[in-house]
Amino acid sequence: MNTTPTLQVENLVKTYGGVQAVRGVSFDVMPQTIVGLIGPNGAGKTTTFNMIAGAETPTEGRVWFDGTEITGKPTDQLYDRGIVRTFQLSHEYGKMTALENLMVAGANQPGENIFMNWIAPGAVRRRERDVHERAEDTLAFLGLTHVTNELAGNLSGGQKKLLELGRTMMTDAKLVLLDEPGAGVNPTLMLKVIDMIRRLNEERGYTFCIIEHDMDLIADLCDTVVVLAEGQVLTRGPMSDVRTDERVIDAYFGGDVV
């Protein structure tokens, strides 16, 4: 059994001027598991993702991916290594269609390589056809076929969220960081999203770390849950333990944390 964590976060700290957004967060994500990152608004979840995915440089602390240190590496390098993330507020290419947004995400398209085009034009065409087909299949799966040629900027909030998820399906990711994949998605589609995450995990071996306020999604999918509050890890464990933990209930509903 592979015992090297896919993701290792050690003592991450992020301060913005006087604000301590993250105050020494450590956790591991083992290969092919699904870990939930939960906690009240402002707990530091998105900031933690930003530091893992190269969008923010940690003030302190280190990050490893598959045993290699990646602290402070830029997002595009991490993407090439197989780390993909989605955003709490969707980041689509507004001036491109839904289909084009997915095709762009089909990683390592040899069509972009001029030498491949010259040496093996047939292979390039086949690959492009594959990416096109996969993008169409992905749109169908997400119930977005009717907006295939719509500019992504014109989609609704929920549709943009689904498109973001679709982009992760188009890549050959190893580690997928999802920031509130369920936000704004209707309950029926939510079940499909849960199913999709599970299938990507079981069939393609993706490892997931998921930030989510929907506790049903977390309980349904996650092997382990890490609870953040006020920039620190409050506790971690299976959801069945975490959801009855007094400190967690208190962090969500008690005091002035919420």
Ligand X SMILES: Nc1ncnc2c1ncn2[C@@H]1O[C@H](COP(=O)(O)OP(=O)(O)OP(=O)(O)O)[C@@H](O)[C@H]1O
Closest to ligand X by CB, 20 vs 32, is 20
Return the one option of ligand X, Mg ion, none that residue 168 interacts with (CB less than 5 to 8 A, by type).
Answer: none
Q: Could you tell me the smallest distance in angstroms from the CB atom of residue 42 to Mg ion?
A: 8
Return the one option of ligand X, Mg ion, none that residue 19 interacts with (CB less than 5 to 8 A, by type).
Answer: ligand X
Tell me the CA distances in angstroms from 173 to 128, 154, 177, one per residue in order. 19, 27, 10
The reply on whether position 138 binds Mg ion by CB under 5 A is no
The maximal CA–CA distance of the chain, rounded, in angstroms, is 66
Q: Could you tell me the smallest distance in angstroms from the CB atom of residue 15 to ligand X?
A: 9
Cβ of 252: how many Cβ atoms within 10 Å? 20
**DSSP state string for 180-216:** STTTT--HHHHHHHHHHHHHHHHHH--EEEEE-S-HH
Which residues are near ligand X by CB under 6 A? Answer: 16, 19, 21, 39, 41-47, 88
Return the one option of Mg ion, ligand X, none that residue 70 interacts with (CB less than 5 to 8 A, by type).
Answer: none
Order of strands, sheet of 224-229, starting from the edge strand that comes earlier in the sequence: 83-85, 175-179, 207-211, 34-38, 224-229, 232-237
* Residue from the set 46, 90, 97, 138 that interacts with Mg ion by CB under 5 A: 46
Q: Is 77 exposed, middle or buried (0-12, 13-18, 19+ CB in 10 A)?
A: exposed
Closest to ligand X by CB, 31 vs 42, is 42
Closest to Mg ion by CB, 88 vs 109, is 88
Interacting span for Mg ion (CB under 5 A) from 41-49, 102-110, 122-130, 238-246: 41-49
* Contact footprint for Mg ion (CB under 5 A): 46, 88
